[in-house]
Structure 1
Amino acid sequence: MGGLVDELGATLSAQELDLQGDAKATIGASIPTGSGSPSLVPEAGVDEPVELLSELGRGGMGVVYLAQQTALQREVAAKRCAASPRAMQALIREARIMGSLEHPNIVPVHALLSDEEGPLVVMKKVAGVSWEESLAIPGVGLERHLEVFVQLCNAVAYAHSRGVIHRDIKPSNVLLGEYGEVYLADWGIARRTDEKSSERIAGSPSYMAPEMIRGYADERTDVYLLGSTLHQVLTGEPRHRGPLGEAIESVRASTSREYPRGVPVDLAAVCNRACAADPADRFRDVAELRGAIRAHLRLRATRSLVATAEDRARRLARADDAEADGLFTEARFGFEQALGELEPMVGRADEAVRTTLAAEVERAVRSRDDLLGVMARRQLDRRQPAAALALVDAMRNPDAELRANAVAAQEAGEADRARLSRLEADQDRSVGAGARMVAQLLLAVAVLVVTLLFAFVFAPRRDPTPTRLSIVGMVVFVVIALVVAVWRRRGQWNLVNRRIAQIAVLASAVSMLQRAVAVATDGDTLHVLMTDAFVLGMAGLMLAPFHRAGPALTVLSVGVVGVGLWDGSSIDEAFVGLSVAVPIALLVGSFLKRARST
């Protein structure tokens, strides 16, 4: 350090500075070269009396009092400087700079007065503590301090937009109000960007940028000072520690720092970049630095989202169906929100931070995939393979075995649905209804014609014989078989239509065969017709599930059997009536149904 002390010794001695002095104190308050001497203000008149009540604080640049502004009856802070022309000019200059900066994070100046003791700056009284004091209070979280830092950046960015550089940013110069207010104070060594630099060292060495040793400062100097302030927020210590000489040596080197494990990696990178020795390597302006801190705050928020979503996912694994869907929706929303914030950050982040952000993204993706997997398995248990497959496909890294199970379950489900659909179609009376109606009409007409021909044309006024009945039965069977054959080729053939056709063919075949047996065994007509009526009644019962005419056929057939039992001589007329009534009923029913459909 000896070479640096020799080099700076003359300058420091000229400024009456002790190398073993306090490095956190502000040094070098002066009027910049070429700025001229600000004129003193007029003395306060009776309209603006200010009563000094008590001392609030004392520093190298003056004393701050608690005062009463009589006209407005309010407490204010009043700053007075040492009784020297240079100090008075510096105080007036500070007041005018502060007065030109109207911003929520800069202490407002109410008035600039003067009396026999010199100028008096009347400012808003901030009820609260300095940020440095707040940093020493246990229990105040990092997130709150970062929010303060963002507001501090707002004040500095505004000052830069108005052509003012603060040059003395540090926690002790930031005031925190009782209701969350944040104010950047102590503009005593601030200067305008159009003012000529001097060779005087000005600033607080514990936070100072290396170019300030040469008396130079610009907007990126304030960026460095903000980085030094953030360093203290993260570590509890100034960036440049030790007495004045050691601190200035640290300022000159401005090397990158290694931060403890508990300091977030991205914030450590922000500090080192903001405090780079070369201004060109720093953030290009305060807005960019502020953006990095806001990005970290978003990162903290996304970490909180991920943690909350992971908690919901753990609860989902143990939850019943009543609460499972709600937990899943909350958890998935949390992961999606977090990834929506995190992934854009990775592309914009510095190399030092990108690895950390990528790890956060990987964690969120992994947790999200685990969540989707848990819900997919639950959907499989619910027999919802399509929903399970959609969840698996939404994974970034799908589980191959789970996907195979979901696909297999979906295919099995589709096969089951196809079988069910075929069964439903097979038992649907509306399938092939048109062709069935045509076949029904043809059959009714044919049976009616055959019955009428044999009853009234071929054998009128003759007693029915088994032979005649056998011929009629054979003709009816052939007609039914032909109609069914045409129907099967032209119509839709489902279970309903198959059963109707099978019952019709079977009943006519049984009737034909039993009549042939009667001929061969010399059976009597009464027995043949009663057996036929019984066969038709059974056919009606078999037909009932498939055709609404089935029950009517059974009732009529039972009626014929009853007639035969009551009066055997009337059985032929009763059976002819049945053979005529059934086709006519079918014809009338078909026409009525067709009329209703049109």
Structure 2
Amino acid sequence: MSLRARTKLGKYRIEKVLSEGGFATVYQALDSIEGIRVALKIPHSKIVSDTLLKDFRNEARLAARLEHPNILHLKDASVIDGYFVIALPLGEKTLADRLMSRLSLRTVVEYTGQMLEAVAYAHRQRIIHCDVKPENMLLFAGNRLRLTDFGIAKVAQKTVRGSGTGTVGYMAPEQAMGRPSLRSDVFSLGLIVYRMLSGEWAEWPFTWPLPGYQKLRGRVHPEFIAWIRKSLDLNPRKRFQDADHMLRVFRVLEPHILDYGTRRRRSA
């Protein structure tokens, strides 16, 4: 059961529900001390257990470790009036919301760079996000993108034996079978970039060419298409080894992608 508007939890006053998932509800709330609005992530009371609280504490500790301009930082994590509360900065919208309208090539390139910077930073810490999707990317003023929700992230050794956690439709095939790796996040990033460019969400069995491919060919540099295709290879070993590798190649391609887009517009 959701908390009602105007309910007070310590210094926070609930204003409205932002989203509700299987394990937690996210609220917009007013911080009465700082005078700012924040997002509060609170596990559902009916399913709260020692195991679940341990997972949320791990999420809080993980988020506190990650200091990067494209990763949502943790404001607070504490037990308030019997609720375990994670307080986070409040974004303007999610990337999923933004995808409801068309993106310019320059905006796609900007968001792609920021997504890659965030996941590459996590991968350098040997952290697999495991749930890279537009709903977990928040947009702030100035088109700043920040990745959030490391709740089911795995700290990698070589390959983590998971349990198929993640969001169906966004997962790499091997992750769906319980074998996530850094390359699984690469696959999810490739899906998002493809969607931003084509307006189509690719689905299993991910047979190339994917839906919307002709539109992609009409606006995108061939090497950028090859970069996307490599990230979406069904064989993990043929993908980029991690988001850091993916990012380095993207930065080399970036000026050519933008120049190609400019020339295409002028010749149209």
TM-score interval, normalised by the smaller of the two chains: 0.7 to 0.9
Q: After TM superposition, give the deviation of residue 170 of structure 1 in Å.
A: 1.3
Q: Is the 8 A contact 1:112 1:121 kept in 2?
A: yes
1:170 and 2:127 are equivalent in the alignment: no
1:59 and 2:21 are equivalent in the alignment: yes
Distance 1:199 1:262, change over 3 A: same
How big is each residue's C-alpha offset from its partner over 1:221-252, in whole Å with a ceiling of 9 and x where there is no partner?
11111111112112222221xxxxxx4xx2xx
- Give the whole-Å Cα distance in 2 for the aligned partners of 1:110 and 1:304: 40
1:276 and 2:233 are equivalent in the alignment: yes
Q: 2:3: which partner in 1?
A: none
How big is each residue's C-alpha offset from its partner over 1:32-65, in whole Å with a ceiling of 9 and x where there is no partner?
xxxxxxxxxxxxxx9x632322222212231111
Distance 1:305 1:198, change over 3 A: closer
1:100 and 2:65 are equivalent in the alignment: yes
- Give the whole-Å Cα distance in 1 for the aligned partners of 2:25 and 2:264: 50
Q: After TM superposition, give the deviation of residue 213 of structure 1 in Å.
A: 2.4
How big is each residue's C-alpha offset from its partner over 1:513-559, in whole Å with a ceiling of 9 and x where there is no partner?
xxxxxxxxxxxxxxxxxxxxxxxxxxxxxxxxxxxxxxxxxxxxxxx
TM norm structure 2? 0.83
Q: After TM superposition, give the deviation of residue 81 of structure 1 in Å.
A: 0.8
Q: 2:248: which partner in 1?
A: 291
Q: After TM superposition, give the deviation of residue 189 of structure 1 in Å.
A: 1.3
Q: After TM superposition, give the deviation of residue 125 of structure 1 in Å.
A: 1.3
Q: Is the 8 A contact 2:130 2:152 kept in 1?
A: yes
Letter in 1 for 2:178: G
1:118 and 2:118 are equivalent in the alignment: no
Q: 2:55: which partner in 1?
A: 90
Q: 1:129: which partner in 2?
A: 93
Query: Any idea what SS the aligned residue of 1:132 has?
Result: helix
Larger Rg: 1
Distance 1:213 1:133, change over 3 A: same
RMSD over aligned CA atoms reads: 2.6
How big is each residue's C-alpha offset from its partner over 1:305-362, in whole Å with a ceiling of 9 and x where there is no partner?
768999xxxxxxxxxxxxxxxxxxxxxxxxxxxxxxxxxxxxxxxxxxxxxxxxxxxx
- Give the whole-Å Cα distance in 2 for the aligned partners of 1:300 and 1:137: 21
- Give the whole-Å Cα distance in 1 for the aligned partners of 2:262 and 2:87: 46
Q: Is the 8 A contact 1:54 1:66 kept in 2?
A: yes
What aligned pairs does 1:168-317 form with structure 2 within 5 A after superposition? 168-194=131-157, 197-240=160-203, 247=204, 250=205, 254-258=206-210, 259-260=213-214, 261-264=217-220, 265-303=222-260
Distance 1:65 1:305, change over 3 A: closer
Q: After TM superposition, give the deviation of residue 195 of structure 1 in Å.
A: 9.7
Distance 1:123 1:221, change over 3 A: same
Distance 1:274 1:305, change over 3 A: closer
Distance 1:305 1:170, change over 3 A: closer
Q: 1:161: which partner in 2?
A: 124
Q: 1:556: which partner in 2?
A: none
Letter in 2 for 1:165: I
What aligned pairs does 1:536-547 form with structure 2 within 5 A after superposition? none
Out of 113, 116, 120, the residue aligned to residue 150 of structure 1 is: 113
Q: Is the 8 A contact 1:164 1:191 kept in 2?
A: yes
Distance 1:71 1:200, change over 3 A: same
Q: After TM superposition, give the deviation of residue 162 of structure 1 in Å.
A: 1.7
Distance 1:52 1:232, change over 3 A: same
- Give the whole-Å Cα distance in 2 for the aligned partners of 1:306 and 1:263: 10
- Give the whole-Å Cα distance in 1 for the aligned partners of 2:265 and 2:173: 44
Letter in 2 for 1:93: N
Q: Structure 1: any 5+ residue segments left out of the alignment?
A: 1-45, 241-246, 311-598
Higher strand share: 2
How big is each residue's C-alpha offset from its partner over 1:568-597, in whole Å with a ceiling of 9 and x where there is no partner?
xxxxxxxxxxxxxxxxxxxxxxxxxxxxxx
What's the % identity of the aligned pairs? 26
Q: After TM superposition, give the deviation of residue 281 of structure 1 in Å.
A: 0.6
The higher-RCO structure (CA 8 Å, 6+ apart) is 2
Query: Any idea what SS the aligned residue of 2:110 has?
Result: helix
Letter in 2 for 1:169: V
Query: Any idea what SS the aligned residue of 1:105 has?
Result: coil
Letter in 1 for 2:186: V
- Give the whole-Å Cα distance in 2 for the aligned partners of 1:199 and 1:103: 26
Letter in 2 for 1:279: P
TM norm structure 1? 0.39
Distance 1:280 1:65, change over 3 A: same
- Give the whole-Å Cα distance in 1 for the aligned partners of 2:234 and 2:11: 49
Q: Is the 8 A contact 1:165 1:191 kept in 2?
A: yes
Give the number of equivalent residue pairs: 251
Q: After TM superposition, give the deviation of residue 72 of structure 1 in Å.
A: 2.2
Query: Any idea what SS the aligned residue of 2:75 has?
Result: strand
Distance 1:60 1:238, change over 3 A: farther
Query: Any idea what SS the aligned residue of 2:123 has?
Result: helix
Q: After TM superposition, give the deviation of residue 133 of structure 1 in Å.
A: 1.7
Letter in 2 for 1:94: E
Q: Is the 8 A contact 1:152 1:182 kept in 2?
A: yes
- Give the whole-Å Cα distance in 2 for the aligned partners of 1:233 and 1:302: 18
- Give the whole-Å Cα distance in 2 for the aligned partners of 1:141 and 1:221: 27
- Give the whole-Å Cα distance in 2 for the aligned partners of 1:304 and 1:207: 27
How big is each residue's C-alpha offset from its partner over 1:160-185, in whole Å with a ceiling of 9 and x where there is no partner?
11221101111121111132211111
